[in-house]
Amino acid sequence: MAEKVIDLENRIPQLARRKRRRFIRQISFIALLIILLVLIIAYRQSDWSRIQTIEVIGADYKTVDYHVEQLPFHVGDSMWFDVDDMEQAALENNWLKQVTIERDWLTHVVVTIEEYKHVGYVKRDEQYYPILENGEIVPEAMTSFVMDAPLLTNFKDDAYLTELLEQLAQLDDEVHALISQITYTPSNSDNSVVTLYMTDGYEVRALIYDFAAKVNYYPSIVKQLGDIDVKGIIDLEVGSYFTSFDAEYGIRIDESTYMEEAEPQSEEAAEPQQQEDSSSDESSAEEQSYGAIITDRFV
């Protein structure tokens, strides 16, 4: 077999061209890496790598500005944060039940939140603190108090307060908005009794452990009282009973009067008044019978 003869004069230029192309590729790769590194450094130092706008979605009870201030990142910080870590840090805000953080385009961050329901206030040291549905009392006193939730008073036992907060979270919004104040008023027979002062003038007495189940019927009970032109106490402890303020306290409150209490009389005025009362037995008997007539039971 004839051996192939290689012409070195032709072979050497080919080898030189291959070597040159390999060198150019290596230089190009290194130059590309250097350019890419310079671009990354320039990007990290520029405003394009930093948060320029933050959007908060879902703020109902607190303002958007409040939630933006409570976030673990702010405008001007790097966009390259760990989303999971930031979501966990954001949940340290007592008002937040759930948080989702998303990067939007180059410099925009969208924060979607779900707040705990605001169910009431407590008064401590002449300041008002909001209470959330999870039983958390937010350790930030309200700068301006607006009665947009009931005021809870006289609760010295945290166990009863916690149970009541769970019940309040189950109330219909319509009923919750009608409650002005809730006072812990234990009786000799039951330590779970509370008294509600409603915005429409009624008082309601109920037990904490079945509070929501019964108080949610408040609008329908008041509707049944439409023919009675006086205010009074709706007792939901056992069954449903109504007693007028006149029969309970000796105070007459009708639909045209929100609250009219009997003013204390001086000793000098008391004696003539007693004589007048004794001379009007018929009128007094009529008033007492009136108080008894409007004591009804709802089934």
Distance between CA atoms of residues 77 and 100, nearest Å: 18
CATH numeric code, 118-263+294-298: 3.40.50.10960
One CATH from 3.10.20.310, 3.30.360.10, 3.40.50.1970, 3.20.20.330 for 48-115: 3.10.20.310
Greater pLDDT, 295 or 25? 25
- What is the predicted pLDDT for the residue at 44? 76
Mean pLDDT of the chain: 80
Q: Which of 4-18, 129-143, 181-195 has the lowest mean pLDDT?
A: 4-18
- pLDDT attached to residue 254: 56
136 dihedral zone (left: phi>0; alpha: psi -120 to 50; beta): beta
Which pLDDT tens digit goes with each residue over 39-97? 888 877 777 889 999 999 999 888 899 999 999 999 999 888 999 999 999 999 989 99
Per-residue pLDDT reduced to its tens digit, 123-175: 888 888 988 888 888 888 887 777 788 999 998 888 898 889 889 888 999 99
Please report which confidence band the pLDDT of residue 5 belongs to, taking 50, 70 and 90 as the band edges: low
Per-residue model confidence (pLDDT) at position 4: 56
Distance CA 151, CA 181 (A): 5
Q: Is the pLDDT of residue 190 over 50?
A: yes
CB 111 within 8 A of CB 90: yes
pLDDT of residue 6: 56
256-289 burial, b at 16+ Cβ within 10 Å, e below that, comes to eeeeeeeeeeeeeeeeeeeeeeeeeeeeeeeeee
User: What percent of the chain has pLDDT above 90?
Assistant: 38
Q: With 60 as the cut, is the pLDDT of residue 297 above it?
A: no
SS3 216: coil
The pLDDT, as a whole number, for residue 253 is 58
Question: Where do the domains of the chain lie?
Answer: 48-115, 118-263+294-298
Q: Lowest mean pLDDT of 68-82, 230-244, 275-289, name the range.
A: 275-289
How sure is the predictor about 3, in pLDDT bands with cuts at 50, 70 and 90?
low
User: What's the CA gap between 180 and 182, in Å, rounded?
Assistant: 7
pLDDT score of 258? 43
Cα–Cα distance, 75 to 62 (Å, whole number): 20
Taking only the tens place, the pLDDT of each residue in 15-27 is 777 888 888 888 9
pLDDT for 275 equals 47
